[in-house]
Amino acid sequence: MTNSMSAWPTQPLSFAVTQKYFPSVKQGIPRSGGHSSRALGWVRSRSFVVLQDRFDAEDLLRLIYEKQISNLMLVPIMFNRLLQLPDETRAKYDVSSVRHVVLGGAPCPQHTKQAMIDWWGPVLIEQYGSLEIGVCTGATAQEWMAHPGAVGKALVDVNIKILDADGIEVPIGEPGEIYTQIAQQPDFEYEGRPDARAEMEKDGFLTAGDIDYHDNDGFLYLSDRKKDMDSVAVTADDVRSFVGRRLANYKVPKVIDFLDEIPQLDSEKSSSASCASGNGPQAAVQSSCYADQHSNG
């Protein structure tokens, strides 16, 4: 029997697949990024699926141990939660059955990935891609340890170009926007946004807006997001002037704080929303606006 584990990155869920064909192979996939079709394939091939209502780190370890799961597909937030478990909890479960863990869904910090390798061994396989461009690179744990921080090399039938703003390929080691062309990747368009599809394509190659560079061995390294890059520095007066043209005077913030870095979620992705939630320095802006609104009205 073969067992698998998987999860949904944005709302952590996981499921195990017990496949009856390969006595020593356990497999798993995520229910996002287009990979849920793999689960259907396993079901059609006489597989047994076990669902969790919500992802639970210790319960994952229990399932790995009890079902002797060898292949999993997880996302970085799950690594974080696994690593947060107390040492005594980790020690309760034997995870030596794990042979491969496919990692995707979000960038994984190097220290998180190294900690999982130290715990589970060199079983991680990182993949990079997106729903639009598909999965285009991969790296085994051994390859990653030889090229720390890399998201992998181009997979079979994948062509990759890293282009500058003028559409010219950049030299090795220089950052640029990654464009990919994958054989048999289904075509698509954004509903209600016919021009958006054309904006992300150049000569048959598609981009997800990521900034990468590659080394002499062909390994790619993510360095930024094009849509997140600031095009100009602003001052507090610039902000007041901008909002002042759109808001009543009493709504213009009296206090504007600048953060050295944007707070992060549990998944270690940037949390822009938390800046405006009242949790942290930006609370001063909210408090000032709130007080002014109520004192004038």
pLDDT grade for 217, boundaries at 50, 70 and 90: very high
C-alpha angle 167/169/174, rounded to 5°? 115
Helices marked H in 9-97: 36-44, 57-67, 76-83, 87-91
Q: Do domains 1-121 and 151-227 have the same CATH topology?
A: no
More confident residue, 30 or 138: 138
Positive or negative, the CA dihedral 277, 280, 282, 286 is: positive
Question: Which amino acid makes up residue 95?
Answer: V
CA 36 – CA 15 distance, rounded (Å): 11
Indicate whether 281 pLDDT > 70: no
Output the pLDDT for position 52.
59
25 closest CA partner among 80, 61, 69: 69
CATH code that applies to domain 151-227: 2.30.38.10
Listed by start position, the domains of the chain span 1-121, 151-227, 236-295
| H/E stretch holding 286 | helix 283-295
Look at the chain and count its residues. 297
pTM of the model: 0.65
- Phi, psi (degrees; rounded to nearest 5) at 120: -95, -10
Q: Are 57 and 78 in contact (CB under 8 A)?
A: yes
Question: Which amino acid makes up residue 5?
Answer: M
Quick: pLDDT tens for 43-52. 666 655 555 5
CA 80 – CA 66 distance, rounded (Å): 22
Quick: pLDDT tens for 168-188. 999 999 999 999 988 877 777
CATH tag for 1-121 (out of 3.40.50.980, 3.40.50.2020, 3.40.50.1980, 1.10.1060.10): 3.40.50.980
Percent of the chain whose predicted confidence (pLDDT) is above 90: 27
Percent of the chain whose predicted confidence (pLDDT) is above 70: 68
Q: Are 282 and 275 in contact (CB under 8 A)?
A: yes
Output the pLDDT for position 40.
62
Q: Are 255 and 281 in contact (CB under 8 A)?
A: no
β partners of residue 135: 129
Question: Considering the chain, what is the average pLDDT of its residues?
Answer: 75
Output the pLDDT for position 274.
57
Output the pLDDT for position 37.
54
Average pLDDT over residues 159-174: 91
DSSP per residue, 108-151 = --HHHHHHHHHHH-S-EEEEEEETTTEEEEEEEHHHHHHSTT--
Average pLDDT over residues 272-284: 49
Q: Are 112 and 78 in contact (CB under 8 A)?
A: no
Token look-up 């396989």 returns 125
CA 157 – CA 139 distance, rounded (Å): 16
